[in-house]
Amino acid sequence: MFNLITKKRGNLKDDTLAGLTVSLVLIPEAIAFSFAAGVPPQVGLWSAVFMGFITAAFGGRPGMISGATGAVAVVVAKAFHYGYDIGGTEIAMQYVFAVVMTAGVIQILFGLFKLGHFIRFVPHPVMMGFVNGLAIVILLAQESAFKTAGENPSWLHQNELIMMGALALLTMAIIQFLPKLTKAVPSTLVAIIVVGLISHFALESRTVSDVLFEGTGSGELSSQLPVPSLPTGIEWTFANIKFIFGIGLTIAMVGLLESLMTLQLIDDLTETRGKSDREALAQGAANFLSGLFGGMGGCVTVGQSLINIKSGGRGRTSGIVAALALLVFILVGGPVIGEIPMAALTGVMFMIVIGTFEWTTFSAFGKVPKTEIFVILAVTLITVKLHNLALAVLVGVIISALVFAWKSAKHVTLHPEDQEDGSRIYRLHGLLFFGSAREFSERMSPLEDPDDVIIDFKDAKVCDYSSMEALSALTERYSNAGKRIRVRHLSPECAKLLESAGSLVEVEVAKDDPHYTIARV
């Protein structure tokens, strides 16, 4: 009764209707993300067309929707500002196209080398910090909506600010409360229409066309089909190449992170399985072509993907219909799009911020380990301060790995048992790896132990070369003391590690070991 997601196969009717619904929601968000990135609205719209069509047709998860997103927009903004400082708007756009195409190539390589499964190594606290930081960055980016466009932006006049705030709040209220009355039409679309009518007939508020005129001197929204063009006017110095590759890498990683995490979410909701490597290939191709045809790139949109699934979209047709319908809207609806109030787009972005932020973070305080809270805060702060989402995730993964290693090292125990024949067996429990190898070695006492010592690995594992080297060093220490040390009950994986090491380590395996008869490796 309360299941929002119906687990079923798609059909042409449901996919078509779901795709049309999604296309209507894509328009205001694509325009809003364009302004967040600092680029003209048509750049974001064409990005949504290319991203949506290519990933729907060739991606690894039917039913997912791709387009311009906030995660990519905040990174693209850095490329735009970098190019703008060098040569104005024209050069800035060339830098945007260059970094988006670079991101596409990186994502294609990611898919070709089948690295999509590495998304599983991103811990949940890192993801929480990532989305929190992203939400804050998108929120801060809305400051520009309350300022004039152009080279020297300034705050709007008091009356205009009040008008913007009131209409933005009205937009948010409609998006929030309309679904409680009816879900027959997208609440975002209704909010845009209502606020647009109020702005047109009752209150004069800044529109998309007004902002375009302030920034470029022309309020017209181009509806011409884009033509492919390689970036021009860029001086290919080492500094510029380094910047383009760095931003491209960030876009690639952020896009893949958000896309593959959404893929897992849709998998769980529909009880099906997508293909992460194929999705990476499709995302890369879409971003490359998006940059080639004058777009700002993007990735999977979580909100639109959920809308599509909830509306019955399951197959590739839903995403294809959404992209083609958006194409038609761009070609014939340019004047209408130009009349969309900026206040409405700002309200949409505020709702995206609210929906993106992981509010359970606050309830996690005092209920989860302090190290997990530290990871969440660290990733959030790095994202906000440096605007580098990929670096923030990388740092979060490293911190989580170090915390795990520290905790695992503390859980290694060694229990000695003296036997009737005078030998001593040490029963090892836990993981023997670089973090625990040293402490394990220090607990062993060659001078105090009897002449015959056995380390039982029935409840332990040798995990890496550091642990093998520790065993080899122990063998040498006991040999120098005129004593013998052996290991037994090694797992097949542990024995394979020792065999692969060959002459690098010298560890004696007990002859009564039930798995192996190797006397010495």
366-411: per-residue pLDDT in tens? 888 888 999 999 999 998 887 677 788 889 989 998 888 888 877 7
Cα–Cα separations (whole angstroms), residue 65 to 69, 248, 283, 503: 11, 22, 11, 54
The stretch 244-268 carries a mean pLDDT of 87
pLDDT band at 9 (very low <50, low <70, confident <90, very high): low
Which range is least confidently modeled, 135-149, 311-325, 491-505?
491-505
pLDDT band at 506 (very low <50, low <70, confident <90, very high): low
* pLDDT reading at 514 higher than 60: no
* pLDDT reading at 2 higher than 80: no
Q: How far apart are CA 253 and CA 118, in angstroms?
A: 11
Residues 399-442 pLDDT 10s: 998 888 888 877 788 899 999 889 999 999 988 888 888 888 88
Does domain 411-504 fall under CATH 3.30.750.24? My reply is yes
Predicted local confidence at residue 85, as pLDDT: 92
Cα end-to-end span (Å), the chain? 63
Q: How far apart are CA 427 and CA 415, in angstroms?
A: 5
Residues 465-488 pLDDT 10s: 888 888 888 888 999 999 998 888
The stretch 272-300 carries a mean pLDDT of 94
pTM (two decimals) = 0.71
Strand-by-strand arrangement of the 413-418 sheet:
413-418, 424-432, 452-462, 484-488
Residues 137-171 pLDDT 10s: 878 878 877 877 656 778 888 888 888 899 999 99
In three-state secondary structure terms, 418 is strand
Residue matched to tokens 């999604």: 22
Task: Specify burial of residue 403 (Cβ count, 10 A radius: 0-12, 13-18, 19+).
Answer: middle
pLDDT band at 5 (very low <50, low <70, confident <90, very high): very low
What are the helix (H) ranges across 38-157? 41-58, 70-112, 124-141
Compute the half-sphere exposure of residue 193: CA atoms within 13 Å on the CB side of its CA. Answer: 8
Give the chain's mean pLDDT: 84
Predicted local confidence at residue 3, as pLDDT: 41
